[in-house]
Structure 1
């Protein structure tokens, strides 16, 4: 697979300059959708602004100064996706969406935590396996089957990084706080008012009520987001 791609052909979700050059580093395939994933080299150059060239970005990575979600990464094509935390020294940045559906960074108030949405559930030998967004998996022992029974597809888990120990569980139900990734209100936070099959009705903090597809809504908290998912207003 090619290690680069043309800037003009990038997904619209990438908030990078299209005409500042011809090529940009292509991320390796990973657990995140193509539109919501970019290479760590691109993150360092275009988002964190800690490197002006690919050579400088690779020097930072090879020195072991960059970690993604708690693990040091040295592959400059390593994919960084939605809700991932990139740490460089004492700087911790989380990748989220703005109100235009573009990937942006916010300061991670809890860099040791992230939220994972459950996308599938199955049995592996005597354990329950939860497949989550971002390519993450959780194996729950048979002894905790009663706990795993409460985890359903569409729910979200607040976990520690990088160990993935479950801290809290956010069921997809009425009253839960959700972060929107698509539709007409991407990058916004709302409260679920009603669930209608594949659609969900939610209320924004402004009091406005809208409907969107259920797959666009990720539970992020019970009364407020458990992690920072939106940029703070000045």
Structure 2
């Protein structure tokens, strides 16, 4: 199987130029599905800390790249929404966040903030023993109490998977669109329009300096004020 991907066919979330060359690296197996961006692209094309695959492999062999608290070992590992990327030797820390237009971008954060990451709860169910298991947007699972609902967001520490913050999916919540026409835009939920049948619920989002927007529930993630730089206070 080829480890190359045609640039013209990569997902819109990938931060690559589509017409400069024919091929780019293909994402390996891992979290985030087809929207996950190969680590090599982040290191080479976005951050510019390596020039090629060989240099990326060397950096990984030296434990020079940490993702969500764990040393990365595969340059094709997918990186996706809200992942935490750390380059400890360079004292650089980033959160993956969608920019306006839907491409994944890197937001610099401090070392303390790099110790945990945000996750959207996309499923919850009871497991043997009566406990509740949450599934997050990137496939991570963890046991939690009954107070968390599908659509909520939680902040989980990277070292011991402790939930340290909880943001409910409700009217008035601060949210961002992570895909679709309004990807990267931030506002507050004005209304959640529940749709009968199997159709997706619609969400109306208001913004202070704009007309706001509407999108489907699946595209919305509740976020923390820290994601806005204070603009939405």
Tell me the alpha carbon deviations over residues 140-193 of structure 1, each in whole angstroms, 9 at most, x when there is no partner: 3xxxxxxx2211111110121232210111111011101111233210111011
Aligned equivalent of 2:213: 210
Aligned equivalents of 2:123 and 2:2: distance in 1?
A: 31
Give the distance between the partners of 1:66 and 1:214, measured in 2 at CA. 34
Q: Separation in 1 of the partners of 2:96 and 2:122?
A: 20
8 Å CA contact 2:188, 2:207 repeated in 1 = yes
RCO greater where, 1 or 2, for CA within 8 Å and sep 6 or more? 1
Distance 1:31 1:53 in 2: 23
Contact 2:31/2:79 (8 A) holds in 1: no
Separation in structure 2 between the aligned mates of residue 184 and residue 14 of structure 1, nearest angstrom? 15
**Does residue 132 of structure 2 align to residue 128 of structure 1?**
yes
Alignment equivalent of 1:201, drawn from 179, 200, 204? 204
Specify the alignment match of 2:40 in structure 1: 41
Q: Give how far 1:207 is off.
A: 4.9
Structure 2: distance between partners of 1:24 and 1:162:
33
Using the size of structure 2 for normalisation, the TM-score is 0.87
In structure 2, the partner of 1:53 is: 52
Structure 2 vs 1, CA of residues 205 and 29 (structure 1 numbering), >3 Å: closer, same or farther? farther
SS state of the match for residue 111, structure 1?
helix
Q: Is the 8 A contact 1:194 1:202 kept in 2?
A: yes
- Indicate yes or no: 2:156 matched with 1:162: no
Deviation for aligned residue 1:30 = 2.3
104 and 169 in structure 1: CA distance in 2 versus 1, 3 angstrom threshold: same
Structure 1 runs, 4 residues or longer, greater than 6 Å off: none
Cα pair 1:96 1:229 within 8 Å, conserved: no
Q: CA RMSD in A?
A: 1.8
SS of corresponding position for 1:29: coil
CA distance 1:63–1:31, change in 2 (3 Å): same
Counterpart contact for 2:190–2:205, Cα < 8 Å: yes
Asked if 2 retains the 8 angstrom alpha-carbon contact of 1:101 and 1:187, the reply is yes
- The count of aligned residue pairs is 219
Structure 2: stretches of 5+ with no match in the other structure: 195-200
Question: Is the contact between residue 27 and residue 76 of structure 2 (CA under 8 Å) also seen in structure 1?
Answer: yes
Distance 1:130 1:229 in 2: 26
TM-score using structure 1 length: 0.87
| C-alpha distance in structure 2 between counterparts of 1:220 and 1:106, whole Å | 14
Are 2:184 and 1:183 aligned?
no
164-173 or 105-114: bigger deviation: 105-114
3-state SS of paired residue (1:114): strand
- Matches of 1:75 and 1:139, distance apart in 2: 28
Report the more deviating stretch, 4-13 or 84-93: 4-13
Q: CA contact under 8 A between 2:187 and 2:212: conserved in structure 1? A: no
